[in-house]
Structure 1
Amino acid sequence: MNDFWATVNRVIAGAAAYITDEKGRVLLVDPNYRDHWNFPGGIIDAGEHPAQACAREVTEEVGLELEVGRLLTVAWVDHAPGLPYPLVNFMFDCGEVASDVSITLQAEELDDYGFFTVEEAGRLLASHAHQRLLAAVAARESGATTYLAPGQDRLVGQ
């Protein structure tokens, strides 16, 4: 039995928050350990489910305690810089906050934050993360959950 588990594919599981302001701009953070901006979120810890990880990461990274809403997107990322395994990321709708909300950055990991339009975010995010943003926007509007396959430039099911 132990030989079997040694051969099973491994993935990294992450959870992220789609948070917008009153103008519909998305909240992004600037990690000090990556070349690109990203969504508040991170790796799911042992014993957590994705929504719990999302809530924990939002509180840790930006100091906000928000209700984690419905699942907007699931994305599979085959290869990303620095990742030893594929990544499956769950993005949840964490609602709207005022653009002047008090943000407390996790100084050990983050250098900055901001609210950005989809177009502005496209210049800051890695391409797979920008696709996740487009999927989240569409999912919030439609009420459907979307799935992003590796290298996908359109949404599955649309």
Structure 2
Amino acid sequence: MSYKWLEWAKKIQALSQSGLSFSNDIYDIERYEELRKISSEIMEQYTDLEMEKITGLFTNETGYQTPKVDIRGAVFTDDKILMVRENSDDKWSLPGGFCDIGLSPSENIMKEVKEESGYDVTAKKLVALLDMNQHSHPPQPYHYYKIFIQCELTGGQADTGLETKDVRFFSENNLPKLSTGRNTEEQINMLFDYFRNPNKASIFD
């Protein structure tokens, strides 16, 4: 889903961040700071975020800006998929989160599933690498790439983590209310399709 105002705000933010990171000219720095302020004002105008929150999000970033990487695990048993209920919005998502530095994608998703659901898994297949801007996620201040990895359940038991309040398996025709910033119904359906058709090639974009 495309939001032109969000696309413009993020592009302005990325340009200003790169300029502030690499410019030594005081006048250029002033211009880049003004661009960052404009991007923050756009975000404030069209979202429910307060300027202080937006400024904190943007000013904490340094260096050349690149997409952030979010990883989600697809864990199946009895034709049902594992989901966790998020503390932050009381909605459901696949276990996962931001990739940690120093860990591979497989290591990241196995860690995330364990921490958020209590289950032990082994990463088996990269199902998809998607650009969130090409899917029906709500507008967000950053640009994300989303990695979906199919995992095999190997042990453990349902147990909530610091960021989750419930752990359950759901059938495809009985999905709960989804945390759409993290995953969409279309993406969950995609994962069921790959579960039923394990020889399908991975997809991207």
TM-score (norm: length of structure 1): 0.75
Deviation of 1:87 after TM superposition, in Å, equals 1.4
Question: Which runs of 5 or more structure 2 residues have no equivalent in the other structure?
Answer: 1-17, 24-61
Instruction: Choose the corresponding residue for 2:77, options 9, 17, 21.
Output: 21
Residue 95 (str. 1) matches residue 149 (str. 2): no
Q: Please tell me the root mean square deviation across aligned C-alpha atoms, in Å.
A: 2.8
Q: Residue in 2 aligned with 1:59?
A: 114
Deviation of 1:58 after TM superposition, in Å, equals 0.9
Q: Residue in 1 aligned with 2:31?
A: none
Question: Which runs of 5 or more structure 1 residues have no equivalent in the other structure?
Answer: 150-158
Deviation of 1:57 after TM superposition, in Å, equals 0.4
Larger radius of gyration: 2
Q: Residue in 2 aligned with 1:69?
A: 124
**Greater helix share, structure number:** 2
Distance 1:80 1:8, change over 3 A: farther
Distance 1:109 1:82, change over 3 A: farther
Contact in 2 for aligned 1:19/1:97 (Cα 8 Å) = no
One-letter code aligned to 2:166: D
Q: Equivalent residue of 1:26, what SS?
A: strand
Deviation of 1:112 after TM superposition, in Å, equals 0.9
Deviation of 1:49 after TM superposition, in Å, equals 2.2
Deviations 1:97-142 (A, max 9, x none): 79xx721110x21111211111222x52228522221222223314
Contact in 2 for aligned 1:139/1:146 (Cα 8 Å) = no
Greater relative contact order (CA < 8 Å, ≥ 6 in sequence): 1
Distance 1:71 1:36, change over 3 A: same
Residue 104 (str. 1) matches residue 162 (str. 2): no
Q: Distance in 1 between matches of 2:122 and 2:63?
A: 38
One-letter code aligned to 1:52: E
Contact in 2 for aligned 1:55/1:66 (Cα 8 Å) = yes
One-letter code aligned to 1:33: S
Q: Distance in 2 between matches of 1:54 and 1:31?
A: 17
Deviation of 1:44 after TM superposition, in Å, equals 0.3
Runs in 1 of length 4+ with deviation above 3 angstroms? 6-9, 79-83
Deviation of 1:82 after TM superposition, in Å, equals 7.8
Deviation of 1:75 after TM superposition, in Å, equals 1.8
